Amino acid sequence: MIGVIQFPGSCDERDAVAAVERVGEGRLVWHEETDLSGLDGVVVPGGFSYGDYLRAGAIARFSPAMEAVARFAAEGGPVLGICNGFQVLCEAGLLPGALLPNEGLRFICRQVQLVAEDFTGPFGGSIESGQRLSIPVKHMSGRYFAPDEDLDQLESEGRIAFRYAPGENPNGSVRDIAGVINEAGNVIGLMPHPEHAVDPLTGSDDGLVLFRALAGAQQAATA
Amino acid sequence: MSAGVSESPSAPGREAEEAPSTWVELGLTDHEYERIVELLGRDPNGVELAMFSLLWSEHCAYKHSRKLLGRLPTEGERVVMGPGENAGAVDIGNGHAVAFKVESHNHPSAVEPFQGAATGVGGILRDVFAIGARPIAVLDSLRFGEPTSERSRYLFEGAVAGIGHYGNSIGVPTVGGEVYFEPSYEHNCLVNAMCVGLAKTDAMIRSAAAGPGNLLVIMGASTGRDGIGGASVLASAELEAGDDSKRPSVQIGDPFEESKVLECCLELLDRDLLVSLQDLGAAGLTSSAGEMASKGGVGLDIDVRKVPLREEDMEPFEVMVSESQERMLAVVEPSRLDEVVETCERWQTGSAAIGEITDTGHLRVLDDGVEVGDVPVSALVDECPLYDLEPEEPGGWMYGNADTLGEQVALSAGRSADPSDPSHILCALLGAPNIASKRWAFEQYDSVVGSRTARRPESADAAVLMIPESDRAIAVAIDGNGRRVACDPYAGAIEAVLECAQNLACVGAEPLGLTNCLNFGNPEKPNVAWQLDRAVLGLADACLALKVPVVGGNVSLYNETEHGPIYPTPVVGLVGELPDAAAVPGLAPNDGDRLVLVGPFAPSLAGSELAKQRGELDSGLPQVPLNEVDAALRLVRELVRSGAVSAAHDVSDGGLACALAEMAIASGIGMDVDLDALVELRGGSGETNLFGEGPGGIVLAAPDPKELLERAESAGVEAVQLGSAGGDRISIAAAERDVSVALADAGRAWRSLDQRI
């Protein structure tokens, strides 16, 4: 069972549950829930948690459910953060770096091409290095940033999960970074929305690979 | 209704030597005031006068348009809810209905484009979830002055950002829309927003209050002094005119609050905890409570002291007319109140029982139990005098003309380009703000949230949304070329309906219902009255011919300034259904496809984009062969559904040459076209056939045109072979006026709008 956190102001939580249900079972997790036992993985979905009027993700990181997610991640549970979820995971310190307002200072909704990097851990195992994925972005603050020395370290440790393909960087992200993983490899965050790329009719089904990875991550970790 | 304080008429002028009466400052005429006194049997007090002044405004009472609106057909076998409810709805099978409505937020957007447009979206979303439908799509229709004007660019940028801010934050996709730039909107922009929702038919709810003893519960945001508009005259009088009493009358939107109220209301309805539901929009509590009581034939007691406030010391009348956003009003049985309050608390949104349904037929306003106002509901809601228009046809073209073609050609085809060369004209038209790609705008909108969007903006003529709940898809389009309506209000309004219907046909959708927003100037002026009268007649005739019922709409009058009225702009929103989203063709032909023009399209330069650029606009459009267009649309719909076509695109702004170029740009494949057969069939110059506009033309692409031509012939629909897709140039021969443009150059011109914003 995969849990999808629902904050007030979440937008993509139902779409994330529907995407999960294409590869397994999923349910919503209310933002006040603190017991995540019984879950095999967690999605922190997109949207504007608590309105995001202060700074994207800045309030959601203090929610009871996020404290539970931090414990879940510390115990090795697989966590996928998408867009606002990525912002929340960065704010919570579960992932390195920060997401700044887009270079153009405007919201951008666009199908973009991603390239998977060579990364390890439960997510990396099922995504081939160099694989190209067509997945939409839609965000106001998606410009990935971290200091150069941190980026060098992330790169040397194989912790860049996705980059925007050459010429596709929509927001000015440093080194074209679209997604990163944590040190243990069980927490991944990305700005593009794989839950909106699970059906060719709506544009692409390239995002399914992430949900398959999430559903299979627990087995991969315990194998 | 959405808020729109300044959509009501401005106060009529008064003799200079005489101090204006309070009611005149509030926008009521002496005659209307006398009528109020007669209905009450006494003078109204301040609270009552504030309520009357708003509910008897044009925006709430439709006093200049209601008689005309009666002409529109509203009946249809698929209609679930018609005009009069918060939104209209049509049945789409399997126990589901699609709810939709379009509404204006013009004047607030002209004052503050970001918040004006944002709260316009917020208002129309509330209308849709007020009937128990989950909003699944937003479309918008925008009108500004030319982008060469700094103010127009500011308004455009602000309105687009505002629409995006609200829609994106609340998680409802903006799937389509249109933008026109015309000088007549320079001082009065238009921001119309349409929302589409999905509901289980048996769970839908009406707004009629019922059951004396039941409670009136306000939910959502607290109430402040924002958006008090016309009633601020009273505030000045009572608070002894200070600067702090001149509150801003544009409301500020909070999509996060709306998101919580939306989810909360849908949960309350799902659990069957509400008797009726209504949103708070223009004229706030007065309008919402009055309408609920009127529809239910009951009375209401409201205690303003029980309304949660965000400012201290608000006067009772201020509470009654405040237009604070993100509020809903529900009727709840007393035994269910605790569950309602608990649900609101869980969604972290407000709720308070503020009154009770009575059997008095009166709306009583109490302040901590003490009566401060008492009016018969019927007087407030139903007795506003309705006015007959005094239409008079203008003697000629009422608007200006300016030759901008040379400038436009230079921008799109280079300084040395020749404004009489059809190749250069094509590039100029593709780069014209009305025709160029609006990617700059629609990329600021989340078009994919909800996982239903099968055709995103500019990938097909209509947005297509999947509805797995009823095992089909719907298509939605919004349109209304005001310039053509200005040329001929009757024919132009018909064309607005046909443009939407053509867009739907191109994705194989059959129209189910229509909503409209009538944006016009001052109806008390005879020429504007004539435009309104003729346009409504045109809408009615088009709907009758297509057998499409009008299920709801909105009227925005007094869109004019000292510079004159706007182009008469009836904006039409159309919702249709189709069996299978997977079969929908886009705009892009395949290499080698044959191109066929279907329908009675008879190109004319009258009212066209080219006539505008040349400064040659004048009154009059050719008559529209409505029934022939209808037959053509049926044929196109069937052909698209059968999978016989690989691309479909209707002929619209910029004529056939622009329609073909847009298809070539979409596919990245050139085309070789010869219009001589069309010139022979329709007559007219090569230039008219290239760039002339008019309804009833759809370009279809198919690998083999034989089936298309045969089926057109047996359906009695005219079809003309145009040529084929291939190569890297757009080549169109048209009676010696030959176009030949490199595909890359055409694409560059079409994508040039963002450099002008």
Closest CA to B116 of B249, B284, B285, B310: B249
**Which pLDDT score is estimated for B128?**
96
pLDDT band for position B52 (cuts 50, 70, 90): very high
pLDDT for B5: 36
Determine what percent of chain A is predicted with pLDDT higher than 90.
91
Owning domain of residue A197? 2-222
Question: Per-domain residue ranges for chain B?
Answer: 5-65+206-381, 585-757
Q: Tokens representing A69?
A: 């997610």
User: Of B93, B94, B196, B11, whose CA–CA distance to B575 is shortest?
Assistant: B196
Query: What is the C-alpha to C-alpha distance for residues B235 and B244, in angstroms, rounded to an integer?
Result: 10
A11 counts as catalytic: no
Q: Is the pTM of this model over 0.90?
A: yes
Find residues 148-167 of chain B whose CB sits inside 8 Å of chain A.
161, 164-165
Average per-residue pLDDT in chain B?
92
Mean pLDDT of B388-401: 95
Is the confidence at residue B18, as pLDDT, over 70?
no
* Cα A203 from Cα B502, distance rounded (Å): 24
Q: Is residue B378 predicted with pLDDT exceeding 70?
A: yes
Size of interface A-B (CB pairs under 8 A): 87
CA distance B141 to chain A (A): 19
For A162-215, what is each residue's pLDDT tens digit? 999 999 999 999 999 999 999 999 999 999 999 999 999 999 999 999 999 998
Helix H or strand E encompassing B679: helix B676-682
Contacts with A133 (C-beta within 8 Å, 6 or more apart), sequence order: A113, A114, A115, A116, A162, A192, A194, A197, A204, A206, A207, A209
Give the separation between CA B468 and CA B454, rounded to whole angstroms.
12
Place of tokens 């010391």: B313
CB atoms within 10 A of CB B146: 17
Give yes or no: B31 in active site. Answer: no
pLDDT at residue B616 greater than cutoff 90: yes
pLDDT exceeds 90 at position B622 = yes
Sheet with B472-479, side-by-side order of all strands: B453-455, B463-467, B472-479, B569-578, B510-519, B550-556
Distance from the B92 Cα atom to the nearest Cα atom in chain A, whole angstroms: 21
CATH number of the structural domain spanning residue A210 = 3.40.50.880
C-alpha dihedral over A195, B114, B137, B59, to 10 degrees? 160
- Which residues of chain B lie closer than 8 angstroms to A60, CB-CB? none
Whether residues A202 and B453 touch (CB distance < 8 A) is answered with: yes
Domains B5-65+206-381 and B585-757 alike in fold: yes
Determine the residue of chain A that is closest to B169 in CA distance.
A48
Buried/exposed B613-630: b ≥16 CB within 10 Å, e otherwise: bbebbebebbebbbebbb
Residue A139 β-bridge partners: A108
Confidence grade of residue A219 (pLDDT, cut at 50, 70, 90) = low
What is the distance, to the nearest Å, from the Cα of residue B517 to the centroid of all Cα atoms in its chain? 5
CA distance B228 to B287: 13
Residues 682-741 on B with a CB inside 8 Å of A are none
Residue B576: the pLDDT is 98
Helix, strand and coil content of chain A, in percent to the nearest 5, comes to 30, 25, 40
Supply A178's token pair: 């679209």
- Name the token pair of B258: 């709306």
Closest CB from A8, A12, A201 relative to B581: A201
In angstroms, the CA B532 to CA B343 distance is 46
CB-based contact, B347 to chain A, within 8 Å: yes
pLDDT digits (tens, 9 = 90+) for B54-107: 899 888 888 889 889 999 999 999 999 998 888 999 999 999 999 999 999 998
pLDDT higher than threshold 70 for residue B11: no
CB pair distance less than 8 Å for B451 and A202: yes
Chain A residues closer than 8 Å to B171 by CB: 10-12, 47
Residue A85 CA to residue A63 CA, distance in Å, equals 13
Residue A24 CA: distances (Å) to CA of A21, A39, B407: 5, 12, 59
Looking at the 3D structure of chain A, how many domains does it have? 1
The one-letter code for the residue type at B134 is R
Residue A157 distance to chain B (closest CA, Å): 34
DSSP H helical ranges for B282-324? 284-296, 316-321
Q: Which pLDDT belongs to residue B243?
A: 44
Confidence of residue B12 (pLDDT cuts 50, 70, 90): very low
For residue B347, list chain A residues with Cβ-Cβ distance below 8 A.
8
pLDDT of residue B313: 87
Region B519-535: mean pLDDT is: 96
Structure tokens given for B28: 């009521």
- The mean per-residue pLDDT over the stretch B658-679 comes to 97
pLDDT of A126 reads 81
Instruction: Report yes or no: B754 at the A interface, CB cutoff 8 Å.
Output: no
Number of alpha carbons in the 13 Å side-chain half-sphere of residue A188: 32
Q: What gap in Å lies between CA A25 and CA A51, rounded to an integer?
A: 28
DSSP A10: B
Architecture of domain B5-65+206-381: Alpha-Beta Complex (3.90)
| From the candidate CATH numbers 3.90.650.10, 3.90.1150.10, 2.60.120.200, 3.40.50.300, the one assigned to the domain spanning B585-757 | 3.90.650.10
- Classify strands B134-144 and B174-181 as parallel, antiparallel or unpaired: parallel
Which tens digits make up the pLDDT trace of B143-176? 999 999 999 999 999 999 999 999 999 999 999 9
With bands split at pLDDT 50, 70 and 90, how would you rate the model's confidence at B16?
very low
Q: Record the tokens describing residue B569, joined without a space.
A: 């702009």
User: Looking at the partner chain, which of B256, B444, B450 has a beta carbon nearest the beta carbon of A51?
Assistant: B256
Contact B448 A47 (CB under 8 A): no
- The two beta strands, A41-44 and A2-6, are parallel
Task: Tell me which of B96, B105, B107, B649 is the catalytic residue.
Answer: B105
Please list, in sequence order, all residues whose beta carbon lies within 8 angstroms of the beta carbon of residue B243, skipping any fewer than 6 positions away: none
What confidence category does residue B111 fall into, taking pLDDT thresholds of 50, 70 and 90?
confident
Kindly report, residue by residue over B232-286, the tens digit of the pLDDT.
Answer: 455 444 434 444 444 456 778 999 999 999 999 999 999 999 999 999 988 899 9
pLDDT for res B229: 62
Percent of chain A whose pLDDT exceeds 70: 97
Which residues from A are below 8 Å from B451, CB to CB?
15, 18-19, 195-196, 198-199, 202
